[in-house]
Structure 1
Amino acid sequence: MGIQFLRGNPQAPKGHAIFIARSRSNSRIVYSTYCLVPPIPMSIAKYLPPLFAAQIPSEELQGAESIAGMPIPPMLEEGMSLEQLEALAERRADDLCDIGSTSSEEVERMQMATMCSQEYAQLYANYISQAEQISRKPAEAAIPEATPIDELDTEELLLQTLSERQKLAEVGKLVGMARYALEGQDKALLQDTQRRIERLARLLPDKYRGSEIVKAATSPTERGAKLAELYLSRAYKLLDEEYAEIPGIENAIRELKE
């Protein structure tokens, strides 16, 4: 499933997030952990005695100064409801991320927390890197002379740096977020998500039918969910030049729209 942002912006992660995952056997059971990406890269081995540092694999030492996410606690734990976690994220201004479903097995919950923390850290690293690149551009080339710096749309600039595949991946995440908002009848989240999908759709070539994806994703009907999935599938087939698969998808779209 990957990370779905229920609160926050995947294009500009804060560096601290509450992760939630549901039990596969009982959807009412919610597991959670807190992911933290230190603002200053550090090497744990630097602070260990030589005897202990020698036990750390060399590949970990080589990448020790890279940005990494740390789940705290290191395993998804049961104990708080979704409503409590949503309120907590709001009060603390944390990102809130749905990372899918898991079992009651401790090893799986630990692995899931670790993997998703690294995925979140990569999103954060991408954001920081892109923001630094934008800030290094000559002022006269980056902004019009009459435009104050605080009026710049940083998110728009970041989105323009993404490849078509990355843009489609973000659209897919936002479609999932829109369906989540519809199911929870969260109007504010739905409006914000629709705005972000529309912004991304405008940056995609017309052949991907971005406006149709937006319309389907925000439709309250089950048919809307299926259409959004089909439109996304069609977009990826176009991107990967798998043209033989497209007629079947087009037929399925027509049947749903009849």
Structure 2
Amino acid sequence: MGIQFLRGNPQAPKGHAIFIARSRSNSRVVYSTYCLVPPIPMSIAKYLPPLFAAQIPSEELQGAESIAGMPIPPMLEEGMSLEQLEILADRRDDDLCDIGTTSSEEVERMQMAATSSQEYAQLYADTISQASQISKQPAKTTLPEATPIEDLDAEGLLLQSMSERQKLAEVGKLVGMARYAVEGQDKAALQDTQQRIERLARLLPDKYRGSEIAKAAIAPDERGAKLAELYLSRAYKLIDEEYAEIPRIENAIRELKEE
């Protein structure tokens, strides 16, 4: 299956992620561990007891200067629900990754944690490498023409100055406009509103799921309107730190998606 990002961007992993895996025999059972990619290249092999080192493929134990992902704990453990892990990832701004299904066997859960951690670390290393290549590109010898003041994006500057609550309020207004355009089959207005929502969504932290709000806002069916409302409600609960209410909203979102 590989790593599926439930939160975060696979093209730009943060370097710290919560991994989840479901039991093959009971999908309600969720195992989890935390993967950390140290900012300083290292190999954890020489720090592992023989019991743990034996579970990691030999090729992954080589290269003392490689970027390695460390699963903490080193084995996928049961104990937290998916809803709890989602809230935790939001609060900590971690990536949240589904790494597939596993059994109750400890060796398999240990191997899966190690393998997935190295896969995640490789994604992180690729991102860092690409960023380094871009930064090393020679600077242009000619100065770019100055942008006239009248061409500056005044709306963009205004959006940047807004608080998170103000941005959410603006997203809520745009969702209403998008639903009105959907009902009236006004394609031009819908496209314009979609671009404005997506622009605002990019300015919000991932935990508010702005991209999901934007997607639901333009959905052609009534379910889209309900999903957008639920996502907005969830965002406001986060900003108000009413975390106890979030699992109920998450369940409603999941049930609506499964219809």
1:64, CA displacement in angstroms? 1.4
| Matched letter for residue 133 of structure 1 | Q
Partner Cα distance (2:78, 2:211) in 1: 25
Using structure 1 for the length normalisation, give the TM-score: 0.51
Q: What percentage of residue pairs aligned between the two structures are identical?
A: 81
> What is residue 121 of structure 1 aligned with on the other side?
121
* 2:125 matches 1:103: no
| Matched letter for residue 66 of structure 2 | S
> What is residue 140 of structure 1 aligned with on the other side?
140
Correspondence 1:95-244 to 2 at 5 A: 95-140=95-140, 188=210, 190-191=212-213
| Matched letter for residue 92 of structure 1 | R
1:140, CA displacement in angstroms? 2.1
Change (3 A) 1:92 1:187: closer
> What is residue 249 of structure 1 aligned with on the other side?
none
1:190, CA displacement in angstroms? 3.2
Runs of 5+ consecutive residues of structure 1 not aligned to the other structure: 49-56, 152-185, 195-214, 221-258
* 2:94 matches 1:94: yes
| Matched letter for residue 212 of structure 2 | L
1:25, CA displacement in angstroms? 1.0
Change (3 A) 1:193 1:133: farther
Change (3 A) 1:146 1:113: farther
| Matched letter for residue 14 of structure 2 | K
Runs of 5+ consecutive residues of structure 2 not aligned to the other structure: 49-56, 157-207, 224-259
> What is residue 4 of structure 2 aligned with on the other side?
4
Change (3 A) 1:77 1:47: closer
1:189, CA displacement in angstroms? 5.4
Structure 1 residue ranges, 4+ long, deviating more than 3 angstroms after superposition:
43-48, 57-62, 143-148, 186-194
1:43, CA displacement in angstroms? 4.2
> What is residue 39 of structure 1 aligned with on the other side?
39
* 2:71 matches 1:71: yes
Partner Cα distance (2:7, 2:13) in 1: 10
* 2:51 matches 1:82: no
Change (3 A) 1:96 1:132: same
Using structure 2 for the length normalisation, give the TM-score: 0.51
SS at match of 2:104: coil
RMSD: 3.8
Change (3 A) 1:118 1:44: closer
Partner Cα distance (2:131, 2:77) in 1: 34
SS at match of 2:77: strand
Partner Cα distance (2:113, 2:46) in 1: 25
* 2:29 matches 1:29: yes
How many residues were matched structurally? Answer: 156
Change (3 A) 1:139 1:146: farther
Write the deviation string for residues 22-75 of structure 1: whole angstroms up to 9, x where unpaired.
111111111000001010012457789xxxxxxxx9966751110010100011
1:138, CA displacement in angstroms? 2.0
